[in-house]
Amino acid sequence: MLLREIAHSRTGDKGRVLTISLIAYRDEDYAVLEKKVTEQRVGAYFGELIDRPVKRYVLPKISALNFVLHRPASQGVTRSLALDTHGKCLGYALLNLEI
């Protein structure tokens, strides 16, 4: 199953720092998120788009996970020549993770 089948995302970014929150549609699906969507999996999923280990924060009272990622200096939103490196695109991309 794809992550987007049980969760949606919210994102935010400032320069090189990006946050992606995953929120379960149903409280009973939160345990699947917590078990399957680890710091290591998110880091591997984004690969060279990030340059530090991913930090995950668990928010069980709202059935959510929050991930903090750091992009390389050349990939910050305000400095990149890439078409779109904004967090909203990366948040949507994460929803395609197979879990």
87 is written with which tokens? Answer: 């967090």
pTM of structure: 0.81
Q: For residue 11, what are the contacts with CB-CB under 8 A and spacing of at least 6?
A: 18, 19, 20, 21, 86, 87, 88, 90, 91
- The residue whose two tokens read 């970014």 is 13
Full set of structural domains in the chain with CATH: 3-94 (3.30.70)
Which pLDDT score is estimated for 22? 96
Which pLDDT score is estimated for 3? 94
Mean pLDDT by 10 residues, the chain (99 residues): 95 87 97 97 91 96 96 65 58 82
- Helix, strand, coil share (%) of the chain residues, nearest 5: 40, 30, 30
